[in-house]
């Protein structure tokens, strides 16, 4: 297996989400919520549903586009999916990486 075949960005993001979920910081409506909301989930079902899609689609996408472009895409997409609708007045803030999993599903 080549070094390029190892999906390190997917592994890094998975560890990040698992760590945040286990740490489960109390969120307020200020800066902490804004920064962490794309990565925190509302419960085990929400977390596992996102992971069930993120892991296989993340590995697939990362291997196709490369680790650095994937990491940039995966870091930016959740913020856009959660905060742009608020800026446009379409909905309120939410939480979780569902926007990322939907984007990866569309790519695949």
pLDDT of residue 91: 66
d(CA 108, CA 106): 6
Going 21 to 62 to 105 to 74, the CA torsion angle's sign is: positive
d(CA 52, CA 69): 22
Q: Residue for token digits 């698992």?
A: 18
Round the average pLDDT of the chain to a whole number and report it.
79
Identify the CA nearest to 58 among candidates 8, 4, 3, 2.
8
d(CA 74, CA 16): 12
d(CA 61, CA 53): 12
Tokens of 3: 């070094």
The model's pTM: 0.75
Which of the four pLDDT bands, split at 50, 70 and 90, describes residue 76? Answer: confident
d(CA 43, CA 58): 21
pLDDT tens readout for residues 21-49: 787 655 555 566 667 777 777 778 888 88
> How does DSSP classify residue 6?
S
């Amino acid at each position: 297996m080549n070094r390029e075949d190892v999906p390190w960005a997917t592994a890094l993001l998975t560890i990040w989400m698992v760590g945040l979920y286990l740490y489960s910081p109390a969120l307020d409506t200020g800066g902490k919520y804004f920064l962490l909301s794309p990565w925190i989930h509302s419960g085990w079902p929400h977390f596992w549903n996102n992971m069930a899609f993120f892991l296989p689609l993340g590995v697939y996408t990362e291997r196709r586009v490369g680790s650095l472009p994937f990491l940039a895409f995966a870091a930016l997409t959740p913020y856009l999916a959660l905060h742009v609708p608020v800026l446009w007045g379409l909905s309120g803030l939410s939480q979780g990486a569902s926007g990322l999993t939907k984007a990866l599903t569309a790519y695949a």
